[in-house]
Structure 1
């Protein structure tokens, strides 16, 4: 029988991307490398041992994984699998996250303190990592946060523990747009143990906007200190790919455009499904996170939420509940998706206290939801308006109606009452037929397109950029 060391020698070394900070650009770089290598005919897979995000995706098997790794799998032209993200943390309270292990909620681990989880999760990470190494020619690994967070090292299952497990070739990325990039790189390297430092093959400057000549001899200085070269200076790259766990804030109502208000409450989830609205020139999608007059807007969307009860409490506390009810009286379209559906209803019952307890909803549609222990997760393909559309469900709640409401999109997953439309199906705007229907209701241009094709083109452009400025 081969020893573990011999087995590792027979496998191609994974490439691992670590960051000096959160939002250094790790996810985008992994995505770029996956598409670059896939376009070269290499069988490649992404891997992130543990992700923290309320942006999740559903696999063909109905299992839950991080949206970023799902996109990276598409970039790699591989079938998305929970092996690529065996542990997903979904924040649902200030100090609590639901733990998804191999695509399924694990309530036992969710209740454990952070530092008490490694013994249970590490074996799942090891299994997934080595399965991918067996099944693919090349694995591209993404770290989380920074490996220099020494207070978290004892419980690490995502950064240097993974690098050491597979003896990866590690590249350390710094966001030069933030400033202090060389200090970040030097300081992060210095915080690593000697055996970890040996794995670092190169430093990467990311999000560079200026004249490269302004860098002077800083890269030589850094290499003198560490013995590690700076292998790439990647430009600040504007793209239309989903963000891992954030959303663009700051847009304001604009005259001459279709203005859509997106209620941005705490624990809002899967906001990337609104990217088809976000990147249209004639549409202005405005995240609303404080009370204001909503009646100027052409439509209103309440998105999904990891904790519908807590999101509803936020609306009540800020006064946005009254503003939404006032908007409903204008007769303009209101769309509630998943958690938004629950919030727009009459009541949210939470007998198991999974979220935030029983709540009175906004009462704009005659629906009652009970938050249940079992979670509904599935991909959906159906015919609507004589066209084929795709989406997915991901929710704990079971909803019923006590009135003769019309169904919306599909029976028992969506309902309509007057100008209020609700559905449990995520991803609808990514379908051309739904986007055009929505615009038809609010007086906008019916210029939608199939978002999956658009993303595929964006991935190729990203790979081209990396081929020009990267090190592979």
Structure 2
């Protein structure tokens, strides 16, 4: 088989490409098609562990969720190139699931010709195995400074002979100019691939849009095929992990969970299930004032980090180290995940120049030693008996994934002096003797229904329910004929 390809392009980052592609994956899967997602290059520190030719590798979380929506097994071909920012001007390059040190140090514009054969081969392989491939673009296809080295937008559309939707965020204003300007900057052959414009995040009376869609079609020949209303509570993790109060569950707030938002934060998408827990409010913590209002029943989370030592330095510069220590001293629950676990220990030791040396926060008597090898794997385990704030996890089975440099163990001198950490998952998780501070390497713990039920005594909506809701939403606002015509060749 050779799959037909549908591509979602955007007028900018944040226009709605990821969630629309996810919705299309589920909609076409529900029509009986064998569907796969694809994004040639993703830049994100939100990553998942999936199958690769060498066993396991990493892809961007958005393509992982799209694969689940498509009812497909996620694998690295769905996102062959992943860039994980480590600094403002530097990213770790992951090619087909594995860190590629040579490409990491290759200048941006020289990189495209090295990676394009791998991208094309991955797309061709997916097309050979599926009926439909739903492709997500990146940023805007009209970034004319990057067109000569493009490997994610127009070059992919041409290679796949894809019909494209161009989506824009109307809530930001200037949507019709964004659509027209993007279309106008495309070469004529690529303009012909645009099958429809999509207005996303609309609030208000849709009749007030007239006559702009009609005028835009006269100028471009492209119809506006959907006006999608603003929808804060769709339940899909945002690609960059951003959340705010508009997307939380309804009802009176009985517990606040504050996530420390340091600059190199990673894997924020794993907190999406908490947004769906009734009575729970999820907030950012960027200053000590954001933590000061927490009560001992509230949680403070130190999430993953793409560069632990620099995020730890930032945390200290803001005075958040003292705020975290004070919350813990008052008996408040503190959870450190992956890089957050490493921060909770006594020290970070780095002799190979991987991350950096630094004193830890000293809330757990642990030491982390960084090494060149990167741990990437799925993990299943069972919590040992636990005490204090996390006692509900005692004996609970949990599954998740690990993506980290460094190995963590007890501080031998402190242990000899009687200052011990309680190991509650072998080599993965430790608790302080008071029971309120927990550090764990396992990402995805808060996505496990067994963990959520143990902690909150209730079930939250499953991802499968979320995917069906997305497909229903698109089908309500976009005609079935349009969705079917997207599967016809533009050439």
The answer to whether TM tops 0.5 is yes
1:394-426: per-residue Cα shift (whole Å, max 9, x none)? Answer: 101111212242112x21111111332111001
SS in 1 for 2:9: strand
Q: Distance in 1 between matches of 2:288 and 2:359?
A: 19
Deviation at 1:79, TM superposition (A): 0.3
Residue 241, structure 1, aligned to residue 257, structure 2: no
Q: How does 1:314-325 map to 2 (within 5 A)?
A: 314-325=314-325
Aligned-residue Cα RMSD (Å) equals 1.9
Deviation at 1:255, TM superposition (A): 8.8
- Determine the structure 2 residue equivalent to 1:75: 69
Q: Distance in 1 between matches of 2:171 and 2:363?
A: 45
Deviation at 1:64, TM superposition (A): 0.6
Answer yes or no: is the 8 Å Cα contact 1:433–1:448 preserved in 2.
no
Q: Distance in 2 between matches of 1:229 and 1:255?
A: 43
Deviation at 1:387, TM superposition (A): 4.4
SS in 1 for 2:404: strand
Residue 390, structure 1, aligned to residue 384, structure 2: no
Residue 87, structure 1, aligned to residue 92, structure 2: no
Residue 194, structure 1, aligned to residue 188, structure 2: yes
- Determine the structure 1 residue equivalent to 2:339: 339
- Determine the structure 2 residue equivalent to 1:109: 103
- Determine the structure 1 residue equivalent to 2:389: none
Q: Distance in 1 between matches of 2:252 and 2:350?
A: 42
- Determine the structure 2 residue equivalent to 1:416: 431
Answer yes or no: is the 8 Å Cα contact 1:274–1:429 preserved in 2.
yes
Residue 460, structure 1, aligned to residue 457, structure 2: no
TM-aligned CA distance change 1:256 to 1:25, over 3 Å: closer
SS in 2 for 1:341: helix
Residue 25, structure 1, aligned to residue 33, structure 2: no
Deviation at 1:295, TM superposition (A): 6.2
Q: Distance in 1 between matches of 2:400 and 2:333?
A: 21
TM-aligned CA distance change 1:326 to 1:255, over 3 Å: farther
1:425-449: per-residue Cα shift (whole Å, max 9, x none)? Answer: 0111122332344x4xxxxxx3332
Deviation at 1:250, TM superposition (A): 6.4
Q: Distance in 1 between matches of 2:105 and 2:331?
A: 44
- Determine the structure 2 residue equivalent to 1:435: 452
TM-aligned CA distance change 1:387 to 1:324, over 3 Å: closer
> What is the TM-score with the length of structure 2 in the denominator?
0.88
Answer yes or no: is the 8 Å Cα contact 2:263–2:311 preserved in 1.
yes
Deviation at 1:193, TM superposition (A): 1.2
SS in 2 for 1:141: strand
Deviation at 1:300, TM superposition (A): 1.4
Deviation at 1:110, TM superposition (A): 0.8
1:338-384: per-residue Cα shift (whole Å, max 9, x none)? Answer: 000011111112222223x2111111111111222111111112334
- Determine the structure 1 residue equivalent to 2:49: 58
- Determine the structure 2 residue equivalent to 1:369: 368
TM-aligned CA distance change 1:170 to 1:296, over 3 Å: closer
Deviation at 1:273, TM superposition (A): 1.4
Q: How does 1:267-278 map to 2 (within 5 A)?
A: 267-278=264-275
Residue 381, structure 1, aligned to residue 375, structure 2: no
Deviation at 1:386, TM superposition (A): 4.6
Residue 469, structure 1, aligned to residue 477, structure 2: yes
> What is the TM-score with the length of structure 1 in the denominator?
0.91
Count matched residues.
451
Gap regions ≥5 residues in structure 1: 1-9, 440-445
- Determine the structure 2 residue equivalent to 1:330: 330
Answer yes or no: is the 8 Å Cα contact 1:269–1:304 preserved in 2.
yes
Gap regions ≥5 residues in structure 2: 384-393, 484-491
TM-aligned CA distance change 1:307 to 1:83, over 3 Å: same
Q: Distance in 2 between matches of 1:421 and 1:176?
A: 43
TM-aligned CA distance change 1:433 to 1:294, over 3 Å: farther
